[in-house]
Amino acid sequence: MTAEEALALLDRVLEQQLNDVQELVFRHCWEGKTYAEMAEQIGYDAGYIKDTGSKLWQILSRALGERVTKSNLQSIVRRHQSRIEEPRQRARSKP
């Protein structure tokens, strides 16, 4: 699963869309970057990026029903993808 695919999945489950900075933090976390690396690459203060990340994990935790952190982001999103796709695949295979 790519960051783009993960964001598309989140668009379906979140009540409101992520803002631009939240989306940037998500993409960079998905790629395994540190907050300091993100701040340097996108031109924001590292503290601001870390705070944005913290708020993002809270939003995702509420939407996905389990605690999301920077370190477990990919596993939780992938697990959630499986939960969404299983019922769809079963529905398609019914005659």
Domain assignment of residue 64, given as a range: 3-93
Cα–Cα–Cα angle for 29, 51, 82, nearest 5°? 40
The DSSP symbol for 2 reads -
Mean pLDDT of 73-91: 75
State whether residue 87 is helix, strand or coil: helix
Alpha helices in 1-95 (DSSP H): 3-13, 20-30, 35-42, 46-64, 73-93
Checking if the pLDDT of 3 tops 60, the result is yes
| Cβ-based burial of 29 (10 A; exposed 0-12, middle 13-18, buried ≥19) | buried
Packing angle, helices 35-42 and 46-64, rounded to 10: 110
Task: Report pLDDT digits (tens) over 33-80.
Answer: 999 999 999 999 999 999 999 999 999 999 999 999 999 999 999 998
CATH number of the CATH domain containing 69 = 1.10.10
Count of domains in the chain? 1
Checking if the pLDDT of 82 tops 90, the result is no
